[in-house]
Amino acid sequence: MTTPPATPAPPQSRLTQNAPLAPLVWFKSGGKAAFLFEPAKVEDLANFLAKLDRSVPVLPLGLGSNLIVRDGGYPGVVVRLGKPFAKVEALDATTLRCGGGASGILVSSTARDAGIAGVEFLRSIPGTVGGFVRMNGGAYGRETADVLVECDVILRSGERRTLAASELNYTYRHSDLPDGAIVVSATFRGEPGEPAAIQAEMDRIAAAREESQPLRSKTGGSTFKNPPGHKAWQLVDEAGCRGLTRGDAQVSEKHTNFLLNLGNATSADIEALGEEVRTRVKETSGVTLEWEIQRVGVAS
């Protein structure tokens, strides 16, 4: 008699103390989190936040692409939405339901397979749905505000709430998502399309990104927001910052709106280099660059 295969145990939520964050962020630098919480399901996250002392800060973490964690670490709880929150499904011919931890590549690929066009641009953004919703992530002429229908969030109090896109009051790289809210899922709406044409557009975007950005480096993606009427990379270049270094941190020679960790740069090196770039741009153009990369934690 053949023994039936054992049913795999459901994933369990994990809480880790003094958790190193450098391995979880693209820059590969920075200190530890006082606690790292990796929920297995929405209910676990809601219950955890409801019981957590309100004075403890909470930071949601996706792929860690748009983030500088300072060398002294994060003195609170980092919430990382892993595989249980990385599912994407097509609800109908134009609509996708996406977990907050799903990558842009997974969202766009699932849309392609379902014949849903309009979200190809997410293929080029190195992040997760939660980050796209919070920061109105965008590229190649489109942004999250163009496709978001609604999102489900867990508030800092542990309350679960559904927010329509109109409630987020989107502007360029900004939303009115409540402080401390964690996006656990989002609904995107595209339009009917042919999978082959969708793939062709994804290939075009991937090729353009490969040609213009330092994809195989330890970086944080776009460093500064584009000021009105300007391109950040052009202002940085005109200020003479292409290739500028601070320790092992460097302004990319390939795309000047990217900072790189050439090897053993500290987060302090990277952030100080960014501030030097801002100073030089202000001196040469009169324009004050705003950070697009999120900087969190305390200095060492």
Residues 80-120: pLDDT tens digits?
Answer: 999 999 999 999 999 999 999 999 999 999 999 999 999 99
pLDDT digits 0-9 by tens, 11-31: 899 999 999 999 999 999 999
The pLDDT value recorded for residue 103 is 96
Q: Are 107 and 129 in contact (CB under 8 A)?
A: yes
Query: Is 15 strand, coil or helix?
Result: strand
Place of tokens 């770039």: 277
Mean of pLDDT over the chain: 95
The pLDDT value recorded for residue 2 is 60
Domains belonging to the chain, first-starting first, are 14-83 (3.30.43.10), 85-211 (3.30.465.10), 218-296 (3.90.78.10)
From the number of C-beta atoms within 10 Å of its C-beta (0-12, 13-18, 19+), residue 149 rates as middle
**DSSP annotation string for 181-224:** -EEEEEEEE-EE--HHHHHHHHHHHHHHHHHHS-TTSEE-S--B
The pLDDT value recorded for residue 11 is 83
CA 86 – CA 83 distance, rounded (Å): 5
The helix, strand and coil proportions of the chain, stated in percent and rounded to the nearest 5, come to 30, 30, 45
- HSE of 99 in the Cβ direction (CA atoms, 13 Å)? 20
The pLDDT value recorded for residue 216 is 82
The pLDDT value recorded for residue 7 is 64
The pLDDT value recorded for residue 111 is 98
CA 262 – CA 227 distance, rounded (Å): 27
Tens of pLDDT, residue by residue, the chain (300 residues) = 566 666 666 789 999 999 999 999 999 999 999 999 999 999 999 999 999 999 999 999 999 999 999 999 999 999 999 999 999 999 999 999 999 999 999 999 999 999 999 999 999 888 999 999 999 999 888 999 999 999 999 999 999 999 999 999 999 999 999 988 999 999 999 999 999 999 999 999 999 988 888 988 999 989 999 999 999 999 999 999 999 999 999 999 999 999 999 999 999 999 999 999 999 999 999 999 999 999 999 998
pLDDT digits 0-9 by tens, 257-273: 999 999 999 999 999 99
Residue-level length of the chain: 300
Which residues are catalytic, by number?
173, 222, 292
CA 96 – CA 94 distance, rounded (Å): 7
- HSE of 152 in the Cβ direction (CA atoms, 13 Å)? 15
The pLDDT value recorded for residue 4 is 60
| Listed residue (227, 228, 236, 275) closest to 254, CA to CA | 236
The pLDDT value recorded for residue 6 is 63
CA 129 – CA 137 distance, rounded (Å): 9
Q: Are 128 and 101 in contact (CB under 8 A)?
A: yes
